[in-house]
């Protein structure tokens, strides 16, 4: 067995024996995400490297410590990509952190989220055992879908060791356009377009401007570009990259940043602050000093939920509280994977 893995497994076993909490960490680029977590850091970066990549199978398997930039470069060399366009939030981002955080980028509304592309995973559980779930094939219904469950679990269920992902060819062509519109109109348009066979791969509405990215066969992109009208979006690549990485001005206003995940037809929110809308209306970022309660209530009334994404003070809790039954299921699942409760305790919910 790999010496690095043996070391990690040994540490987990010792920590479990002593009920010593561990803080799982890759590049640390998403340290800000979730609630504050105590514990000794367990660095996953030494467990790195692409294990297998067969472009004609559309599947890549890599270890958790593999830098996202390295993985994306390997895919790009074969004209393929991670379809969910994950945010990096820093040069050190790793695959393990990407899957644990479960965050997807601008392409999410059309392509799917991280969890949609996870085919299999290996995991170090709370007893220090290496467990494998799923596999390297597209269709696999043997056993419960534990590998998808890991996406977004924020390292609370175990140390993600290795992940197999479905990948896709890069689109043959992309074009981006920009339209001016009031917010309600922009939401209406995005939803109308969503019901039409248009190759829309990303949308963003900020400061009265709606930007749209088209990706696909050249003929389809050309036809859609004419149909939607608008102006050419200047420097489209850096625009979408800045959106993914939250480098846009609206994200850096200094106020707490909220992530509101909502049904895509939700009308404009009557909440103060600077807003960036993505995912055809289904994701709204709000930089605001408004009362957490008011924000969560507004999101829940609309049928969604609000996450306190970036803030100095997370006393309100990073994530929308669960119903009592869901909370119990979470506790029991956590105990199944991590009986001593050592992994990233409290990062998702207090006590979890």
- CA angle 227-265-183, nearest 5°? 65
Distance CA 72, CA 51 (A): 14
Do 211 and 250 form a contact (C-beta atoms < 8 A)? no
Write the binding mask 173 to 212 for another protein: x where contact by CB under 8 A, - elsewhere. Answer: ------------------xx-xxxxxx-------------
Distance CA 115, CA 13 (A): 28
Nearer to another protein, 9 or 160 (CB): 9
Nearer to another protein, 145 or 255 (CB): 145
User: DSSP alpha helices (H): ranges in 155-235?
Assistant: 183-194, 218-228
Residue 102 beta carbon to another protein: minimum distance, rounded to whole angstroms: 8
Write the binding mask 29 to 48 for another protein: x where contact by CB under 8 A, - elsewhere. Answer: --------------------
Do 46 and 65 form a contact (C-beta atoms < 8 A)? yes
* CA 238 to chain CA centroid, nearest Å: 20
Q: Judged by CB under 8 A, does residue 160 bind another protein?
A: no
Residue 207 beta carbon to another protein: minimum distance, rounded to whole angstroms: 23
Residues 232-271 that bind another protein (CB under 8 A): 261-265
For another protein, the binding residue among 44, 66, 153, 201 (CB under 8 A) is 153
Quick one: which of 96, 74, 71 has its CA closest to 159?
A: 96
Beta carbons within 10 angstroms of residue 132's beta carbon? 14
According to DSSP, residue 39 is labeled: S
Residue 178 beta carbon to another protein: minimum distance, rounded to whole angstroms: 23
Residue 27 beta carbon to another protein: minimum distance, rounded to whole angstroms: 23
Q: Structure tokens of 340?
A: 């001593």
Q: Judged by CB under 8 A, does residue 216 bind another protein?
A: yes
Residue 147 beta carbon to another protein: minimum distance, rounded to whole angstroms: 9
Residue 219 beta carbon to another protein: minimum distance, rounded to whole angstroms: 3
For another protein, the binding residue among 31, 145, 183, 255 (CB under 8 A) is 145
Residues 67-86 that bind another protein (CB under 8 A): 79
- CA angle 343-347-351, nearest 5°? 75
Residue 286 beta carbon to another protein: minimum distance, rounded to whole angstroms: 15
Q: Judged by CB under 8 A, does residue 115 bind another protein?
A: yes
Nearer to another protein, 28 or 268 (CB): 268
Q: Judged by CB under 8 A, does residue 58 bind another protein?
A: yes
Beta carbons within 10 angstroms of residue 181's beta carbon? 16
- CA angle 247-164-45, nearest 5°? 60
> How many residues contact another protein, by CB under 8 A?
92
CA distances from 57 to 28, 49, 85, 134, 164 (A): 31, 19, 20, 16, 12
Do 273 and 256 form a contact (C-beta atoms < 8 A)? no
Write the binding mask 282 to 301 for another protein: x where contact by CB under 8 A, - elsewhere. Answer: xx------------------
Residue 138 beta carbon to another protein: minimum distance, rounded to whole angstroms: 4
For another protein, the binding residue among 140, 174, 253, 314 (CB under 8 A) is 140
Strands 283-287 and 257-261: antiparallel
What is the three-class DSSP state of 181? coil
Distance CA 289, CA 272 (A): 8
Q: Judged by CB under 8 A, does residue 146 bind another protein?
A: yes
Nearer to another protein, 314 or 330 (CB): 330
Stretch that binds another protein, among 27-35, 102-110, 203-211, 233-241 (CB under 8 A): 102-110
């Amino acid at each position: 067995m790999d010496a690095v893995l043996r070391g990690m497994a040994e540490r987990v076993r010792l920590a479990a024996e002593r009920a010593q909490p561990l803080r799982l960490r890759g590049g640390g680029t998403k340290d800000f995400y979730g609630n504050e977590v105590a514990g000794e850091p367990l660095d996953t970066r030494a467990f790195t490297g692409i294990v297998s990549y067969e472009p004609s199978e559309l599947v890549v398997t890599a270890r958790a410590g593999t830098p996202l930039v390295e993985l994306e470069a390997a895919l790009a060399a074969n004209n393929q990509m991670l379809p969910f366009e994950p945010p990096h939030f820093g040069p050190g981002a790793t695959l393990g952190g990407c899957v644990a955080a479960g965050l997807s980028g601008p392409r999410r509304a059309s392509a799917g989220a991280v969890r949609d592309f996870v085919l299999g995973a290996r995991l170090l559980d709370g007893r220090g055992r290496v467990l494998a779930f799923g596999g390297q094939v597209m269709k696999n219904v043997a056993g419960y879908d534990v590998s998808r469950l890991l996406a977004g679990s924020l390292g609370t269920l175990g140390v993600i060791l290795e992940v197999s992902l479905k990948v896709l060819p890069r689109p043959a062509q992309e074009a981006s356009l920009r339209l001016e519109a009031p917010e309600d109109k922009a939401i209406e348009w995005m939803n109308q377009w969503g019901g039409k066979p248009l190759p829309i791969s990303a949308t963003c509405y900020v400061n009265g401007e709606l930007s749209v990215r088209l990706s696909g066969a050249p003929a389809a992109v050309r036809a859609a570009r004419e149909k939607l009208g608008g102006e050419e979006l200047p420097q489209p690549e850096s625009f979408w990259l800045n959106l993914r990485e939250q480098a846009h001005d609206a994200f850096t206003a200094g106020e707490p940043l909220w992530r509101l995940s909502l049904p895509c037809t939700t009308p404009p929110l009557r909440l103060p602050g600077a807003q960036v809308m993505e995912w055809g209306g289904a994701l709204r970022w709000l930089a605001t000093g408004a009362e957490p309660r008011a924000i969560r209530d507004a999101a829940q009334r609309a049928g969604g939920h609000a996450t306190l994404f970036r803030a100095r003070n997370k006393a309100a809790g990073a994530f929308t509280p669960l119903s009592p039954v869901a909370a119990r299921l979470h506790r029991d699942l956590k105990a199944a994977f991590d009986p001593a409760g050592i992994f990233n305790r409290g990062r998702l919910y207090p006590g979890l």
